Amino acid sequence: MTTARPSGPFRVGDRVQLTGPKGRLHTITLREEGELHTHHGVLRHSSLIGQPDGSVVAGSGGHEYLALRPLLRDFVMSMPRGAAIVYPKDAAQILAEADVFPGARVVEAGVGSGALSMWLLRAIGEAGSLVSFERREEFADVARANVETFLGRSPGNWRIELGDLAEALPAAVDPGSIDRVVLDMLAPWECIDVVADALTPGGVVVCYVATATQLSRVAEYIRGTGLFTEPDANETMVRGWHVEGLAVRPDHRMVAHTGFLVWARRLAPGAVAPEQKRRASKSSYSDDDVELWTPGAVGDREITDKNLRKRVREAQRAAAGARMASAREDDDDTPTA
Ligand SMILES: C[S@@+](CC[C@H](N)C(=O)[O-])C[C@H]1O[C@@H](n2cnc3c(N)ncnc32)[C@H](O)[C@@H]1O
């Protein structure tokens, strides 16, 4: 698997993030004859090609631009989205809590826009494998195109399976063959039984959920199976700081909530975890409570079909550019006789 080079001088086909006057951001894909037109003038792509990453170049109006290759976190925050993405702060925690390691055999669902897929692919490396399940074909198209745009091609150790995880997983992987499972979906509790079958003893399942009611339901479901260790849960709040001279203080604004993580490990077949001391009255729930956990009550915001088709086109255009650039790079690397 060749991946987009994250370093070295800029070449045709590279995506470059330009920070212009007053901090305005533009992302361009370098072309021999390409030009960026703004009300500050024209910046020719040729002035960047061959320059080192982190260069400063001037446009026709004399305005200077700082040029950097986008990091993965920059890319996922600006790529076309079909569904809400896992933010970088949560992706980092998922990799840590799920203990995703080089060579791991990982399953994720749903693939959504492919943000988490890219972090997982990085963490497992070329020796690992990732199977991403998605029940909506258009989302899978957006994810595939986003991954291709970032990596320059679709990696050979990644595949997307279309369908509902609960139905598709048993046919797609052997029982006990998966090291890690990450669920980012509205109703992860519907998939826990098949996940338990797919996981190897000691394997980890991590669920990323947006609301406390989902968190509660999936944790209770995991606990109720008796097939996992006691579930753990947390959320990650990242507060930026303003650090300038003597003005050193937290930022005034922050992203206060994205989601919660809940995770547990698969017990060996037939193993029964030692009893935990719990007060039944505090942990039991009724049918009325279950109503609060339904998809309608937790408020799933759906993208319109028209908007989704637009995102698919955007993502596929970017992927086609990246494929051409990657093919050109392969040609350049081919030794000549
Ligand atoms: C929030 S998005 C996932 C975002 C993705 N993790 C990312 O970082 O870009 C949730 C996705 O799960 C899919 N989904 C929901 N339930 C599913 C299921 N049971 N099986 C497969 N996909 C499912 C939805 O169609 C949607 O695309």
Is residue 184 within 6 Å of ligand 1 at its C-beta?
A: yes
Residue 307 domain flag: no
Q: 66 and 81: one domain? A: no
Pocket mutation for ligand 1, best pick of 185, 298, 301 (most atoms within 8 Å of C-beta): 185
Give the pLDDT band of residue 322 (cuts 50, 70, 90). confident
Are the CB atoms for 157 and 124 separated by under 8 Å? yes
Q: 54 and 132: one domain? A: no
User: Does 298 or 203 have the greater pLDDT score?
Assistant: 203
- pLDDT for 1 equals 40
Residue 325 domain flag: no
- pLDDT for 292 equals 63
Domain with 23 in it: what CATH number? 3.10.330.20
Is residue 90 within 6 Å of ligand 1 at its C-beta?
A: no
Q: 39 and 151: one domain? A: no
pLDDT beyond 70 at 330 = no
Cis before 128 (ω within 30): no
DSSP string, 247-280: EEEE-S-------EEEEEEBPPTT--PPPP---H
Pocket mutation for ligand 1, best pick of 135, 182, 311 (most atoms within 8 Å of C-beta): 135
- pLDDT for 289 equals 67
Q: What is the mean pLDDT of residues 147-151?
A: 93
pLDDT beyond 70 at 297 = no
What is the average pLDDT value for the chain, to the nearest integer? 90
CA distance 311 to 304: 11
Neighbouring CB atoms inside 10 A of 230's CB total: 13
Residue 110 domain flag: yes
Domains contained in the chain, number: 2
Q: What is the mean pLDDT of residues 316-329?
A: 81
Q: 44 and 174: one domain? A: no
Q: 60 and 127: one domain? A: no
Name the pTM for this structure.
0.86
Tokens at residue 202, please? 């000691």
Nearest to 240 by CA among 225, 227, 228, 256: 256
Residue nearest to atom 12 of ligand 1 (CA): 110
Least confident of 57-61, 104-108, 109-113, 235-239: 57-61
- pLDDT for 337 equals 43
Give the pLDDT band of residue 306 (cuts 50, 70, 90). confident
Q: 114 and 33: one domain? A: no
pLDDT beyond 70 at 269 = yes
Give the pLDDT band of residue 52 (cuts 50, 70, 90). very high
Residue nearest to atom 2 of ligand 1 (CA): 112
Is residue 194 within 6 Å of ligand 1 at its C-beta?
A: no
pLDDT beyond 70 at 16 = yes
Residue 263 domain flag: yes
List, for residues 193-250, the tens digit of each pLDDT value.
Answer: 999 999 999 999 999 999 999 999 999 999 999 999 999 999 999 999 999 999 999 9
Q: What percent of the chain has pLDDT over 90?
A: 72
Is residue 72 within 6 Å of ligand 1 at its C-beta?
A: no
Range(s) of the domain holding residue 30 = 1-70
Is residue 135 within 6 Å of ligand 1 at its C-beta?
A: yes
Phi/psi at 260 (5° precision)? -115, 150
- pLDDT for 295 equals 57
Domain with 215 in it: what CATH number? 3.40.50.150
Tokens at residue 151, please? 């990596």
pLDDT beyond 90 at 113 = yes
Q: What is the mean pLDDT of residues 239-265?
A: 97
Strand 15-19 versus strand 25-29 pairing type: antiparallel
Q: 65 and 95: one domain? A: no
Q: 54 and 149: one domain? A: no
Q: 62 and 98: one domain? A: no
Pocket mutation for ligand 1, best pick of 100, 150, 162, 186 (most atoms within 8 Å of C-beta): 186
Q: What percent of the chain has pLDDT over 70?
A: 88
The size of the chain, in residues, is 337
- pLDDT for 4 equals 57
Nearest to 119 by CA among 87, 142, 148, 145: 87
Contacts (Cβ under 8 Å, ≥6 apart) of 141: 312, 315, 316
Report how far ligand 1's centroid is from the alpha carbon of 114 (Å).
10
Coil/strand/helix, residue 259: coil
